Amino acid sequence: MCDPMSMATEAVRSSAQHAWFSDEVQSLLPKLYGAAVKLCRDRTNAEDLVAEALTRAWAKLPTLADRGTFQGWLFRILTNVYISQYRAARVRPEEEYLGVDAENFSIFERIHQPILLWWGNPEQEFFDGLLRSDLQAALDSLPEPYRSAVVLVDVYELSYRDAGAALDVPVGTVRSRLSRGRALMQKHLWQYAGPGHGPAQGKGERE
């Protein structure tokens, strides 16, 4: 590796690799940053998380066997950095007991009418009154480890397998975290955006 010829080849390869890496990262950045904000719930920490993940990704780039899997690979690094910092902060992710009510909470079960109503559609009314900020607040309200499972699968559409790999847990754990996380989100939405908070009060009055 010390002869000038191979060093020159190495430099060319690195520069092409660098250009490729930069292009890929720029195009994935909105998604990557979005995921970081969802995980951290804080823009400053999200910025640091993205920077740390990119630094690690660049260092580990030679271990990426298939460039077609770059996005999943980068998300995995991002999640790993997030989890390791999270553990370092000594906030242990625990499968805390949330109660049967929270585990099974379903908005649909609360509003669905078994017979067709001529005067309206409660499900549609719920969605009509549902704001992006309501959903964001419900997602932010989720404790770990439920939030990261919902973020990866529902927001970023990772498969259970990929989410499990990213979070370093078995698929069955992804499934149960999702189930609890979604029920908790629905409970939050019901409390803050359910009937009584909907369009009847006027959307314009809410942010």
Residues in touch with another protein (CB under 8 A):
10-11, 14-15, 17-18, 21-22, 25-26, 29-31, 33-35, 37-38, 47, 50-51, 54-55, 58-62, 107-108, 112, 114, 123, 127, 130, 132, 135-136, 139, 150, 153-157, 159-160, 175, 178-179, 182, 185-186
CB of 127 to another protein, least distance (A): 6
- Element containing residue 158 per DSSP (H, E): none
Q: Which residues of 187-198 are buried (b: 16+ CB within 10 A; e: fewer)?
A: bbbbeebbeebb
Neighbours of 185 (CB within 10 A): 23
Could you tell me the two tokens for 88? 């370092």
The DSSP letter of residue 142 is P
In the bound state with another protein, the residue whose beta carbon lies nearer, of 114 and 202, is: 114
CB of 201 to another protein, least distance (A): 20
Cβ neighbours for 54, distance < 8 A, ≥ 6 positions apart: 25
CB of 30 to another protein, least distance (A): 5
CB of 96 to another protein, least distance (A): 20
Least Cα distance to 127 among 104, 139, 113, 111 occurs for 111
In the bound state with another protein, the residue whose beta carbon lies nearer, of 34 and 93, is: 34
In the bound state with another protein, the residue whose beta carbon lies nearer, of 88 and 124, is: 124
In the bound state with another protein, the residue whose beta carbon lies nearer, of 82 and 156, is: 156
The DSSP letter of residue 154 is I
Do the beta carbons of residue 165 and residue 83 sit within 8 Å? no
In the bound state with another protein, the residue whose beta carbon lies nearer, of 11 and 92, is: 11
Could you tell me the two tokens for 161? 């397998």
In the bound state with another protein, the residue whose beta carbon lies nearer, of 153 and 165, is: 153
CB of 92 to another protein, least distance (A): 25
Least Cα distance to 197 among 120, 133, 140 occurs for 133
CB of 184 to another protein, least distance (A): 13
